[in-house]
Amino acid sequence: MHALSRSTPTGNLRLSSFVRMRRSSGPSRVVWCVYRSESVHFPNGIGTSRADWQSSCAVLNASSKPPSHPDQPAEVHGGGADHVDAVNVHQAAIDLNLNLVPIDSSKSSAPAVPQPPKPLTITDLSPAPMHGSQLRVVYQGVPGAYSEAAAGKAYPNCEAIPCDQFEVAFQAVELWIADRAVLPVENSLGGSIHRNYDLLLRHRLHIVGEVQLPVHHCLLALPGTRMEYLSRVTSHPQALSQCEHTLTKLCPQAAREAVDDTAGAAEYIAVNNLRDTAAIASAKAAELYGLQVLADGIQDDSSNVTRFVMLAREPIIPRTDRPFKTSIVFAHERGTSVLFKVLSAFAFRNISLTKIESRPHRNRPIRLVDDAYEGTAKHFEYMFYVDFEASLAEVRAQNALAEVQEFTSFLRVLGSYPMDMTPWSPPPRGEPEI
């Protein structure tokens, strides 16, 4: 056996050993172990530091000598016996988990080529599941808001994320911070929420569903507060308008103050310990922020329902196996006669309209028309939002939109989505909903 030699010409460790084994019944074997500082890539991810160096070992089968006779005396070479049954590799090599790989002696061992990183596939960018599991859903308000309840109804297993403004909710979905947004668009008592209609046109999100949530308002205040001592009632403008007549009867002396959301008003009272202020919010908000319910069910009409839409980055595929609703927005330039023709396109095909809403045309709010007798007349320009009960998968809906496009200067489909068919009956006045 050759002696182990160590040389460090440049501070790099180099360990080599040459062992020759000769067996009585077969050809001699050669084990060549090299411990060197060259950088080599290995499948187990070892690095290039000194502690991570790994020896590359090869077992070479060679017939350097013919097999010897059993009674022939053994030759002594280098102070050791030629017949060696085992080789103890250096302990440092064992600690480095040496891999002994048999190779052909005619070929030299080459370092393995590093594998490139695995590219992304379509499954890595697949959309979130539609059933609500592990979805991140944003809503406007704070915990306890009606929008949070709507998000839970639309996606029962979602992660609800509050946002302080409607604009932030739109941006969260566009920037992939969230998967869905659940935002209100109209109320049965207060009418349309114009801000969200304007944002639907400004952003490129798609309506993928709707949910209708019964609203049950409560008058909340700090524990021990008496109604006759209230000087202010604060809540969202929609909530204040929905409870206007009831508030006049309960606390006519209290001034009304509008804030961004209902649950936020309850939180503000609790944080600032306001003894003379009450909030209009849900019973859940009272539970979350430790407030007392002074009056329950204070909405002027018990049939108080808010319609929410679910927004996503991609539209869903329209179907015909269940009731669908389609939302569009369009603009025209030639007076009210064009609007009549647009509506006739739906009437002739027996398509029911569930909503029509006009909003000022932000890019062109006023149109100037020359009049030879009166000079210059000013006409307001509008965008029209229309909801109709039909799926884009139906031929009649496709033909209707094709005809509408002939009379309009702008047409955009906001979404074709399943209708919320959940049965609901208004609860008795003064009793909370389940």
Annotated catalytic residues are: 306, 308
Structure tokens given for 112 = 């393995």
| Beta-sheet strands, E only, within 226-304 | 232-235, 255-258, 277-281, 292-296
What residue has token string 């490139």? 116
Helix axes 395-407, 336-347, angle to 10 degrees: 170
User: Which residue do the tokens 């609790």 mark?
Assistant: 270
On whether the CB atoms of residues 51 and 35 are closer than 8 A, the answer is no
Residue that has been written with the tokens 């915990």 in this structure: 143
The token duo for 3 is: 């002696």
Residue with tokens 């947004």, as numbered in its chain: 181
Specify the pairing of strand 218-221 against strand 292-296: antiparallel
Looking up tokens 């084990």 gives 31
Residues 6+ apart with CB under 8 A from 45: none
> Which helix (H) or strand (E) element contains residue 147?
helix 146-154
CA distance 349 to 347: 5
How is the beta sheet containing 324-331 ordered, strand by strand? Answer: 353-360, 382-388, 324-331, 410-418
Which spans in 259-394 are helix H? 262-272, 283-289, 336-347
H helices within 175-309, ranges in order?
Answer: 194-202, 237-242, 244-250, 262-272, 283-289
Do residues 200 and 192 touch, judged by C-beta distance below 8 A?
no
Helices (H) and strands (E) in the chain, counts: 10, 24
In three-state secondary structure terms, 194 is helix
Judge contact between 63 and 20, C-beta under 8 A: no
Q: What is the 3-state secondary structure (H, E, C) of 335-381?
A: CHHHHHHHHHHHHCCCCCEEEEEEEECCCCCEEEEEECCCEEEEEEC
Distance CA 56, CA 41 (A): 11
